[in-house]
A and B are shown apart, each in its own frame.
Chain A
Amino acid sequence: MTENITPIWEVFIRARNGNAHRHAGSIHAADAEMAMQAARDIYTRREEGNSLWVVRSSDIHASDPGDGGMMFDPAADKIYRHPTFYELPEDVGNM
């Protein structure tokens, strides 16, 4: 007998008015509505936020950790993308 698998969902919480939602963790649920209720019960018992998103984990496409070097290292030697690379006299103040 094969048991039907309950899918896994990723839970995102908006901690405060105006903030972006941040990933909080995962939850098992049969559908979106149940995922929302379960996420509310599991992740927001202590006023962790004021808005929830649930997304099917299988809908998330993640970068391959093996590609980390190729993806992100090229930014490491581009110090000229940072404001501190440019030297200004002190009396200019904040710019």
Chain B
Amino acid sequence: MYTQALNSETVVSTIDDEQKMTAFQARIDREEKIEPNDWMPAAYRKTLIRQISQHAHSEIVGMLPEGNWVTRAPSLKRKAALLAKIQDEGGHGLYLYCAAETLGVTREHLVDQLLSGKAKYSSIFNYPTLNWADVGVVGWLVDGAAIMNQIPLCRCSYGPYARAMIRVCKEESFHQRQGYELLLQMMKGSEDLKEMVQDAVNRMWWPSLMMFGPSDGVSEHSSNSMRWKIKRFTNDDLRQKFVDATVPQAKILGVTLPDPDLVFDEVSGNWKYGEPDWAEFKRVIAGHGVCNKQRLKDRISAHENGAWVREAALVYAEKQKSRMAQSAA
């Protein structure tokens, strides 16, 4: 019977025991969830730490493009909704960092990886939000794509990640709906407003498709992740689902999606779409998107400006502890 504390240091052998490996895969195949203290292959742990922390970083960096519009929201209703949404993103980041921490990595290490540029976050947040319609399009397309990606993650084989995703997904619906409603309202307005919406869609459509990652043929992480049921669908499967869900929504909204190759395929029942510009995707991932430098700069300055709060909290906790010890003596 074990009464070991959670999150204790786990020694991962470099050569994973073959028998343990077989038993582990059998558990995955039986749809058992893997929990923090369970044995897991070093590569499974490493993959999860990378994926969950990137996901957390994306939530945190994702607050920035929307934060750009808080002070310029056109009404109190829109401002309250935008603030609530940004607050949710912060919360999602925190659920996710904690899920990653159950794998034996510290928050400080993860944040350091983001700020030093070693860790990636979703490429979409390196695009600027240039007009108010961008806030709506981020909700509709960016959160729409995120939902498509996150729903299967609720069934991910790692328990803490799956449970965090269930919480996140429950909160995402509001994000997408407020964005779509905002756009519907703009589309009822003047020609200028309609043009703003179309302009935002034109700029955000392809970057949204790129959120699902490279095509299956070139995705380096896909096959292990599928075998371990960290992922349930391939990048291309999810991208297709997103396109199929979005085309009718664009029609109702009255905007055009900027893809001349977009055509309904009677045989498969899917919308065929053109090839995203993968060279652009690589450039943005490599740090050369429009906003990469600004985003990192903003995160670093937020972290540095918050340092005194973290220090003060720790010193205060120490002081309370020594006072307790004194009064007990």
Interface presence of B64 (CB below 8 A): no
A85 to B173, CA, bound (A): 11
For residue B159, which residue of chain A has the nearest CB?
A18
B162 touches A86 (CB 8 A): no
- For window 51-83 of A, CB contacts with B under 8 Å fall at 51, 54, 78, 80-83
A37 touches B162 (CB 8 A): no
Contacts of B177 in A (CB 8 A): 83, 86, 88, 95
Map CB proximity to A onto B1-12 as digits: 1 under 8 Å, 0 otherwise: 101000000000
Q: Please give 16 more A-B residue pairs, beta carbons under 8 A apart, in addition to A88-B177, A95-B180.
A: A17-B31, A17-B33, A18-B32, A18-B162, A18-B163, A33-B1, A36-B1, A36-B3, A37-B1, A78-B80, A78-B84, A80-B178, A81-B84, A86-B178, A88-B184, A95-B177
B180 touches A88 (CB 8 A): yes
A89 to B268, CA, bound (A): 28
Question: Using a Cβ cutoff of 8 Å, how many contacts connect chains A and B?
Answer: 56
A91 touches B1 (CB 8 A): no
A36 to B4, CA, bound (A): 11
Interface presence of B249 (CB below 8 A): yes
Chain A: interface size category: 20 to 34
Contacts of A86 in B (CB 8 A): 174, 177-178, 180-181
Closest CB in chain B relative to A20 CB, distance in Å: 6
Interface presence of B123 (CB below 8 A): no
Closest CB in chain B relative to A26 CB, distance in Å: 17
Interface presence of A30 (CB below 8 A): no
Interface residue count for B (Cβ, 8 Å)? Answer: 25
Interface presence of B35 (CB below 8 A): yes
The answer to whether A32 and B184 touch (CB under 8 A), given A86-B174, A89-B252, is: no
The answer to whether A91 and B33 touch (CB under 8 A), given A20-B163, A36-B1, is: no
Interface presence of A47 (CB below 8 A): no
Closest CB in chain B relative to A51 CB, distance in Å: 7
Interface presence of B77 (CB below 8 A): yes
A89 to B252, CA, bound (A): 9
The answer to whether A92 and B84 touch (CB under 8 A), given A51-B35, A81-B174, A82-B174, is: no
A85 touches which of B33, B88, B174, B184 (Cβ 8 Å): B174
Contacts of B84 in A (CB 8 A): 78, 80-81
Closest CB in chain A relative to B138 CB, distance in Å: 15
A54 to B2, CA, bound (A): 11
Interface presence of B176 (CB below 8 A): yes
A80 to B163, CA, bound (A): 25
Interface presence of A3 (CB below 8 A): no
Closest CB in chain B relative to A67 CB, distance in Å: 19
A87 touches B3 (CB 8 A): no
A92 touches B3 (CB 8 A): no
Map CB proximity to A onto B76-107 as digits: 1 under 8 Å, 0 otherwise: 01001100100010000000000000000000
A92 touches which of B88, B162, B178, B180 (Cβ 8 Å): B180
- For window 244-262 of B, CB contacts with A under 8 Å fall at 249, 252
A31 to B181, CA, bound (A): 57
B181 touches A87 (CB 8 A): yes
Closest CB in chain B relative to A91 CB, distance in Å: 6
Contacts of B181 in A (CB 8 A): 86-88
A92 touches B32 (CB 8 A): no
